[in-house]
Chain A
C-alpha cells in the first residue's frame, strides 16, 4: 500500500522537475526562468524526498526528509531573491512584452523608502552614469 503511494508521489515529483527544466529552456526572460525553476523545482525535489519517507516509514528517515524539505523551502526563495536582485541591478534584458517595471523607479530616482542600501546603490549608479558621460 505504501509502495503505491510512494510511487505516485515519486511520479508527480518527477513531472514537476521536468516542468521546471522545460520552463528553464523555453521561457524568454531571466525572471521568468527563475519563476519556473524556483517554484516547480522546489516542489519536485520536495515530493521526491517525501516519496523516500513513504518508502521507508522509519522515524529517522522521516526526520531527515522533513529537515531537508524545510531547509529547501526556506532557502530556495532567499537564493532566488538574491540572484534576481543582483541581476536586475547589473542590468539584464527584460522580456520585450514587460508592462510594469516598478523597481526601475526606485533605482533611478532614489525613491527607495527606508531601505538605505537601495539608496546607496541608486547613488552609485548615478555616479557611474556621470562618469560614462
Chain B
C-alpha cells in the first residue's frame, strides 16, 4: 500500500465519523435551523466523499456530481432559510 491509498482510507474514515456526528445533530437538534445547518454540512461531507471516491477508483468524471451537488445544496439551504423565516407568517399580514 502506498501513501495515497492509506490517506484515502483515513479520509474515508474521518468523513464517515463526521457524517455520523452530523446525523446525530439532525436527530437531536433542538430547533429547525440547527437541522438545516447540519444538512448543509452533510452536503459538504458528501462532496468530500465524491472527491475521495474519485481518487480511490481513479475516475475523475465523478467530479461532475460534486459540482451539481454543491449547486443543489446551496439552493436547498436558501429555500430552507426562507421557509424558516416565513413559517409563522399569515397570508396578507
- List residues of A whose CB falls within 8 A of some B CB: 3-4, 6-8, 10-11, 13-15, 17-18, 20-22, 24-25, 30, 33-34, 37-38, 41-42, 44-45, 48-49, 51-52, 55-56, 58, 60-61, 64-65, 67-68, 71-72, 75-76, 78-80, 82-87, 89-90, 92-93, 124, 127
- List residues of B whose CB falls within 8 A of some A CB: 2-4, 6-8, 10-11, 14-15, 17-19, 21-22, 24-25, 30-31, 33-34, 36-38, 40-41, 44-45, 47-48, 51-52, 54-55, 60, 63-64, 66-67, 70-71, 74, 77-78, 80-82, 84-85, 87-89, 93
From the candidates B18, B60, B78, name the one contacting A56 in the complex (CB within 8 A). Answer: B60
Q: Would B67 and A67 count as touching, CB distance under 8 A?
A: yes
Q: Could you say which residues of chain A place their CB within 8 Å of the CB of B84? A: 83, 86-87, 90
Q: Would A21 and B77 count as touching, CB distance under 8 A?
A: no
- Tell me the nearest residue of chain B to A4, going by C-beta: B3
Q: In the complex where A68-B67, A87-B84 touch, is A52 in contact with B3 (Cβ < 8 A)?
A: no
Looking at chain B's contact residues, the main secondary structure is helix
Q: In the complex where A68-B66, A82-B78 touch, is A3 in contact with B3 (Cβ < 8 A)?
A: yes
Q: Could you say which residues of chain B place their CB within 8 Å of the CB of A21? A: 17-19, 21-22, 41, 45
- Tell me the nearest residue of chain B to A7, going by C-beta: B7
Q: In the complex where A24-B41, A64-B67, A71-B67 touch, is A18 in contact with B31 (Cβ < 8 A)?
A: no
In the assembled complex, the CB of A45 is this many whole angstroms from the nearest CB of chain B, namely 4
Q: In the complex where A17-B14, A24-B38, A25-B25 touch, is A86 in contact with B63 (Cβ < 8 A)?
A: no
Q: Could you say which residues of chain B place their CB within 8 Å of the CB of A56? A: 60
